[in-house]
């Protein structure tokens, strides 16, 4: 890939392994939406942007400083996904899944946002997850203007730690309100250090995350993969359990895809859901 600076946009030329629709709609994130012109708009770490693709080039709004400080990292652009794809083609099923999912990139999301988002995601569908998160940000985040539109930052743990379940009634998130507040208080109180967990072993980090109310294996593994960017995490929902049982049997070990089990998971998940 080649990086080219334009007026108000950065072009990533030769972005073969960067499909916007697959990346934003594969279930890993909830705050990017596409407009009528095919531009995906979203916000991370308090900075909003528009992202569009023309041919083999991806264009990200902003300056080179924005790109170097936020978007290069966020879109995991220094990782060779072509090499990983070839490594994961271990059988005919994976060859099909990888071919179908080519272009998915694992986003390096804010750790707290990922934790809170996947607590909200449990026993929920994507439209409702997005609605709850949008309301959470509108109610408690900071207003940010971008190209004449209102965006809102994700509220910090400190903000939500001072809330009670009554404050979260506008979210209509039910029992999850207690889990959100508990997680925020665990972080502000020092019981959970997400930055430290990202440097820990995957098993130890999972164990610590599961100490939080409302965090079981599936939510913990989503946080490990999408928030802490531990690429060997392998979240399993109903779709994934069926897929691996069907293709690899009851004793399936995601270690067969190590050290990129999480990327394999995204290819499989996208393939069985839409392919």
Catalytic residues, which ones?
Answer: 218
Per DSSP, 14 falls in state T
Separate counts of helices (H) and strands (E) for the chain: 14, 8
* Residue 246 near residue 97 (C-beta atoms within 8 A): no
| DSSP type of residue 241 | H
Contacts of 66 (CB under 8 A, 6+ apart): 10, 47, 49, 60
Q: How far apart are the C-alpha atoms of 98 and 61, rounded to whole Å?
A: 29
The Cα–Cα gap between 60 and 11 comes to 7
Q: Give which of 3, 2, 26 is closest to 102, Cα–Cα.
A: 26
Reported as half-sphere exposure (CB side, CA atoms, 13 A), residue 120 has a value of: 26
130 near 30, Cβ under 8 Å? Answer: yes
Distance CA 146, CA 39 (A): 13
Q: Please tell me the distance from the alpha carbon of residue 134 to that of residue 5, in angstroms, as a whole number.
A: 32
Distance in angstroms (rounded) separating the CA atoms of residues 240 and 271: 10
Query: How many other CB atoms sit within 10 Å of the CB of residue 21?
Result: 13
- The phi, psi pair for 261, rounded to 5°, reads -60, -35
């Amino acid at each position: 890939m080649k990086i080219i600076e334009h007026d108000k946009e950065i072009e990533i030329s030769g972005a073969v392994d960067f499909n916007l629709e697959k990346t934003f709609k594969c279930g890993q994130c909830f705050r990017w939406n596409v407009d009528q012109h095919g531009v995906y708009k979203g916000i991370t770490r308090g900075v909003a942007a528009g992202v569009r693709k023309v041919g083999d080039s991806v264009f990200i709004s902003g300056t080179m400083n924005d790109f170097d400080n936020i978007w290069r990292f966020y879109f995991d652009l220094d990782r060779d996904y072509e090499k990983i794809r070839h490594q994961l083609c271990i059988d005919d099923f994976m060859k099909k899944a990888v071919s179908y999912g080519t272009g998915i990139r694992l986003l390096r999301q804010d750790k707290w946002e990922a934790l809170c988002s996947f607590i909200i995601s449990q026993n929920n569908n994507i439209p409702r997850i997005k609605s709850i998160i949008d309301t959470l940000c509108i109610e408690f985040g900071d207003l940010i203007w971008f190209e004449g539109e209102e965006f809102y930052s994700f509220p910090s743990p400190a903000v939500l730690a001072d809330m009670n379940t009554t404050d979260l009634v506008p979210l209509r998130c039910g029992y999850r309100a207690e889990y959100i507040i508990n997680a925020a208080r665990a972080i502000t109180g020092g019981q959970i250090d997400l930055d430290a967990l990202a440097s820990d072993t995957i098993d130890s980090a999972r164990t610590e995350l599961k100490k939080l109310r409302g965090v079981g294996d599936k939510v913990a593994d989503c946080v490990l993969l999408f928030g802490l960017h531990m690429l060997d995490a392998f979240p399993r929902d109903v779709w994934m359990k069926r897929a691996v049982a069907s293709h690899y049997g009851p004793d399936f070990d995601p270690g067969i895809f190590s050290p990129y089990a999480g990327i394999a998971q995204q290819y499989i998940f996208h393939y069985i859901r839409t392919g």
